[in-house]
């Protein structure tokens, strides 16, 4: 018999992320009852849950996919198997990470309410992967969402080749840092941008070849770093003015990857980002929208090779998601606020058991 735990509950969608954090509550959580579960289900005792930007968007209705309240946030989590159904071929005590497309708030079926900001979660066996290589729980819960996004954008959509130069905006963030790591694995040169030199120095220590703060004219810096030519690929997770400025930093025929818009998150109530068609046309650009989950829903066959490569890289020690801050579950509000205010480089995690 598993002991009573705790979970964070989102009871209604709030008007903005800071209000959403205030509205969320921490409540007691009876352990899931195996008698109510499918033989293909497992109960996971959660060790680490990633605190995601997308969690904040979802809690405030700014995300394309809405979990139905009441639900527990935490798109990605990792822990140990505490119970396994008769048809779930995995042993109690195994260290696992859970696929956010198949369980938790980002999934579409009946496991949507069971996120990682909790002592326990229930997931179907097909959502469970043994943690590859020497990854810690903290690293494991920052693997799939970030690196699948970076892979989908850079490899599937961007077709990045060794020797090319990739400009990564928001490089200190979770999907930005994953893009720095994957672009380097692909043999590209990486120019990382951000608002804070101190954060960018950490990004350089993570592999970026050049760092550029966005408080100076970007075009001059990028042209100087590329011998006047411009970059081959832009990975844009920031949006706003930076997107438009980026179009002046590219070579003719470059690929421009629209990854996200961290600088303009309120898409339901403000004008969406707008790109000038004259620059796109005169530079012969390929502008590519890169919604990983939506693209995967349209073409499920795109997932297996991506997942296989990321788990293989992680297993071989070539990918180490950076986790900069750790919080107890009782501090979930502080953790979410730190994410919203961009206080860290890479990931933030909650420790439900700590
Ligand atoms: N395409 C996809 O499938 C996909 C998947 C996941 C996420 N996303 C999107 O990708 C974007 C980044 O996600 P993430 O998880 O990496 O978020 P994150 O960890 O919070 O990182 C966002 C980064 O953007 C930079 N930024 C620049 N201007 C900003 C501003 N005004 N406000 C906040 N941040 C600003 C920050 O870096 P500095 O502080 O260094 O400037 C921050 O580190 C989001 O829009 C998210 O929705 C897309």
Distances (CA, A) of 42 to 25, 293, 323: 25, 24, 26
Q: What per-residue confidence (pLDDT) applies to 66?
A: 82
pLDDT value for 354: 75
Q: Which residues of 189-206 are buried (b: 16+ CB within 10 A; e: fewer)?
A: bbbbbbebeebbebbeeb
Ligand 1 pocket test, pick from 215, 260, 337, 343 with the greatest ligand atom count within 8 Å of Cβ, gives 260
Contact 164, 310 (CB under 8 A): no
Mean pLDDT (the chain, rounded): 96
Give the rounded percent of residues in the chain with a pLDDT score beyond 90.
Answer: 94
Ligand 1 centre to CA of 86 (Å) is: 41
DSSP state of 108: S
With cut-offs at 50, 70 and 90, classify the pLDDT of residue 154: very high
Token reading at 231: 């970059």
Report, as an integer, the average pLDDT of 215-228: 96
**Helix, coil or strand: residue 51:** coil
CA distance 156 to 292: 10
User: pLDDT tier at 240 (50, 70, 90 boundaries)?
Assistant: very high
Owner of token pair 């730190």: 338
Mean pLDDT, residues 234-259 taken together? 97
Phi-psi sector, 130: left (phi>0), alpha (psi -120 to 50), beta: beta
Residue 316 reports pLDDT greater than 90: yes
Task: Give the tokens for residue 339.
Answer: 């994410």
The residue-averaged pLDDT of 254-281 equals 91
Q: Considering only CA atoms, which residue is closest to atom 29 of ligand 1?
A: 263
Q: Do domains 5-143+321-351 and 148-294 have the same CATH topology?
A: yes
pLDDT of 272: 79
How does residue 84 score in pLDDT terms, banded at 50, 70 and 90?
A: very high
- For residue 238, the model assigns a pLDDT of 97
Q: From CA 86, how far away is CA 64, in angstroms rounded?
A: 36
Task: Calculate mean pLDDT across residues 161-181.
Answer: 98
Residue with tokens 């590219």: 250
The DSSP call for residue 319 is: -
What's the whole-number mean pLDDT along residues 182-201? 98
In CATH, which superfamily holds the domain spanning 148-294?
Answer: Medium-chain alcohol dehydrogenases, catalytic domain (3.90.180.10)
Q: How confident is the model at residue 151 (pLDDT cuts 50, 70, 90)?
A: very high
Q: Does the N-terminal peptide bond of residue 70 adopt cis geometry, omega within 30 degrees of 0?
A: yes
Question: Residues 301-323: what's their mean pLDDT?
Answer: 97
The CB of 243 under 6 Å from ligand 1? The reply is: no
Architecture, CATH, for domain 5-143+321-351:
Alpha-Beta Complex (3.90)
Most distant CA pair in the chain: distance in Å? 67
Q: How confident is the model at residue 303 (pLDDT cuts 50, 70, 90)?
A: very high
Which residue's alpha carbon is at the smallest distance from atom 25 of ligand 1?
170
Q: What is the pLDDT of residue 104?
A: 97
Query: Would you say the pTM of this structure is higher than 0.75?
Result: yes
What's the whole-number mean pLDDT along residues 207-220?
96
> Is the distance from the beta carbon of residue 315 to the nearest atom of ligand 1 less than 6 Å?
no
Rounded Cα–Cα distance for residues 326 and 258 (Å): 30
Ligand 1 centre distance from Cα of residue 261 (Å): 7
Q: Ligand 1 pocket test: which of 17, 74, 167, 170 has the largest number of ligand atoms within 8 Å of its C-beta?
A: 170
Rounded average pLDDT over 42-61: 97
Domain boundaries defined on the chain: 5-143+321-351, 148-294
Tokens matching residue 117: 């900001």
Torsion of CA 26, 32, 38, 42, to 10 degrees: 80
pLDDT (0 to 100) of residue 270: 76
Question: How confident is the model over 264-270, as a mean pLDDT?
Answer: 81
- What percentage of the chain has pLDDT greater than the value 70? 100
Across residues 227-249, what is the average pLDDT? 97
């Amino acid at each position: 018999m598993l002991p009573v735990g705790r979970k964070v509950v989102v009871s209604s969608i709030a008007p903005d992320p800071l209000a959403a954090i205030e509205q969320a509550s921490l409540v007691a959580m009876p352990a899931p009852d195996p008698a109510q579960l499918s033989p293909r289900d497992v109960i996971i005792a959660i060790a680490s849950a990633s605190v995601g930007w997308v969690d904040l968007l979802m809690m405030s209705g700014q995300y394309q996919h809405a979990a139905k309240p009441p639900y527990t946030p935490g798109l990605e989590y990792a822990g140990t198997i505490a119970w396994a159904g008769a048809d779930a071929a995995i042993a109690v005590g195994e260290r696992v990470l859970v696929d956010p497309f198949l369980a938790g708030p980002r999934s579409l079926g009946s496991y949507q309410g069971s996120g990682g900001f909790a002592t326990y979660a229930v997931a179907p066996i097909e959502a469970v992967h043994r943690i590859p290589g020497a990854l810690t729980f903290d690293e494991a819960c920052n693997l799939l969402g970030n690196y699948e996004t970076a892979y989908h954008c850079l490899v599937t959509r961007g077709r990045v080749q060794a020797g090319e130069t990739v400009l990564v905006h928001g490089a200190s963030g979770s999907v930005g840092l994953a893009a720095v790591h994957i672009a380097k694995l692909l043999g590209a040169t990486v120019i990382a941008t951000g608002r804070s030199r101190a954060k960018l120095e950490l990004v350089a220590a993570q592999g970026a070849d050049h760092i550029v703060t966005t408080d100076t004219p970007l075009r001059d810096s990028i042209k100087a770093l590329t011998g006047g030519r411009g970059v081959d690929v832009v990975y844009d997770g920031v949006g706003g003015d930076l997107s438009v400025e980026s179009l002046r930093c590219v070579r003719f025929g470059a690929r421009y990857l629209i990854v996200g818009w961290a600088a303009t998150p309120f898409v339901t109530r403000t004008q969406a980002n707008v790109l000038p068609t004259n620059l796109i046309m005169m530079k012969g650009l390929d502008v590519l929208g890169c919604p990983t989950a939506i693209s995967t829903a349209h073409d499920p066959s795109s997932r297996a090779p991506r997942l296989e490569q990321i788990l293989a890289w992680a297993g071989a020690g070539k990918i180490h998601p950076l986790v900069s801050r750790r919080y107890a579950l009782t501090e979930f509000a502080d953790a979410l606020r730190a994410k919203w205010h961009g206080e860290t480089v890479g990931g933030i995690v909650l420790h439900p058991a700590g």
